[in-house]
A and B are shown apart, each in its own frame.
Chain A
Amino acid sequence: MAGEKAEKPDTKEEIPEAKKADAGGKVKKVKQVKKGKPQCSQNPVLVRGIGRYSRSATKYSAAKSKVEKKKKVKVLATVTKPAGGDKNSGTWVVTLHKMPRYYPTEDVPQKLLSHGKKPFSKHVRKLHASITPGTILIILIGCHRGKRVIFLKQLSSGLLLVTGPLSLNQVPLRRTHQKFVIATSTKTAISGVKIPEHLTDAYFKKKVRKPGHQEGEIFDTERNTRLQSSGRLIRKLWTHKFCKESKLFLQKKPKTNKQKKSCSSTPGLPPLCVRSYKRNLSSQSSVLNFLQRT
């Protein structure tokens, strides 16, 4: 319609109408300015002609800013507190966010984030499949080397909590390291025994002895509680009956399945395995039929 060039007076009327129509269309496209606050553009200009956000992004950021405005909570900058004293005016104003007292002269460069490096406390603790609560272990190092002990549980540091028990081996409640221990295939039933919760790494950690007059007292009380708790645990673990049988068992030198296997395949295995003692079946069963105590 607009394309037709007619100089007729009829068409002249039409043309301005058409123009009007077009103008009206254009007017329709432009947003009508609301009466009230003039809206500032949500699309900051980077360079003349180029906005920060694309067309689809402007819609998103506009919506987001609306939401943010709603959510903005007034953060208190100061707090008034009552002040004592006669000559002071009843209250004083405390600024909550104080300016820093010190600004470094140079900006310290940010350390790059390291990946996968954890502190010791968060390391993954592994335990050999052969070591389960109640397994009898052979200690290889330390003053108790060569003794067979019962594994109780793995502590949070990864060390193994182990006991002789004291009445049999003179091995107290102690921590050992997995790598300095051989796990035999012999297991005792310990599932019924509750291991007291205070037996943690902190409990076993060596205390630094301070030189001084108070040393004697502190040391004695700690020692007493230690002995008491370990005594309690040992009493829980062993009945008189079991003691007898386990004594037989723990003082014997059993040839375990693993050592048997390894013996046949690797004849060069160390002396413990070479000495073969037949495992006494009756004592084994008695060990396994250990009475459970709650």
Chain B
Amino acid sequence: MSERLWSKATFAGYRWGLWNQREHTALLKVEGIYAQDETEFYLGKRCTYVYKAKNNTVTTDGKPNKTRVIWGKITGVHGNSGMVHAKFQSNLLAKAIGHRIRVMLYLSRI
């Protein structure tokens, strides 16, 4: 199947107060959601930050390759305009700001 089974999202930045930022929570802007009511579908969904590095790493399906993943999940809503915050197993890299995060369709509640 050549379909994309995940939604596109952008890592907008870390959660922050006026003077401090909290790297344990990431703010995501999911493509297509621009209001708070629309975010309900995405709450609890798993999200991943996929990146590549120099050395090969083990993968579940297939041979070791250079792709690496940080897993996380969408924990809640942020603001009125469809932003969402997510927590990852390890905090996201700052260099990922502005880059792609995949929001999976599971854990599905449909």
Query: A residues within 8 Å of B by Cβ?
Result: 128, 130, 140-141, 143, 145-147, 178-183, 253, 258, 262, 265-272
Contact = CB atoms under 8 A, between A and B. Distances in A.
A270 B6 contact: yes
Contact of B1 (A146, A181, A258, A268): A146
Contacts of A262: 41
A140 B106 contact: yes
Interface in B1-47: 1, 3-7, 30-34, 37-38, 40-42
A180 B106 contact: yes
A268 B32 contact: yes
Nearest to B42: A268
B78 to A, nearest CB: 15
Contacts of B6: 270
B108 A268 contact: no
Contacts of A272: 3, 5
A141 B61 CA distance: 12
14 contacts: A128-B110, A140-B104, A140-B105, A146-B1, A147-B1, A265-B38, A266-B40, A266-B41, A268-B42, A269-B32, A270-B7, A270-B105, A271-B3, A272-B3
A183 B3 CA distance: 17
B110 A130 contact: yes
Nearest to A142: B61
A76 B42 CA distance: 69
Nearest to B41: A266
B38 A140 contact: no
Given A146-B1, A146-B3, A146-B5, 15 more contacts: A181-B108, A182-B110, A183-B110, A258-B110, A265-B38, A266-B37, A266-B41, A267-B32, A268-B7, A268-B31, A269-B41, A270-B6, A271-B4, A272-B3, A272-B5
Nearest to B31: A268
B82 interface: yes
Contacts of B108: 140, 178-182
Interface string B59-95: 0010000000000000000000010000000000000
A271 B7 contact: yes
A42 to B, nearest CB: 65
A250 to B, nearest CB: 12
B103 to A, nearest CB: 8
A266 B36 CA distance: 10
B44 to A, nearest CB: 9
The 10 closest A-B CB pairs, nearest first, are A268-B32, A146-B1, A268-B33, A179-B107, A266-B38, A270-B7, A180-B106, A140-B106, A271-B4, A140-B105
A207 B64 CA distance: 26
A140 B33 contact: no
Nearest to B2: A146
A179 B1 CA distance: 20
B59 to A, nearest CB: 12
A86 B95 CA distance: 93
A246 to B, nearest CB: 18
B104 A267 contact: no
B106 A179 contact: yes
Contacts of B110: 128, 130, 182-183, 258
A258 B110 CA distance: 9
A48 B38 CA distance: 79
Contacts of B31: 268
B5 to A, nearest CB: 6
Contacts of A178: 108
Contacts of B38: 265-268
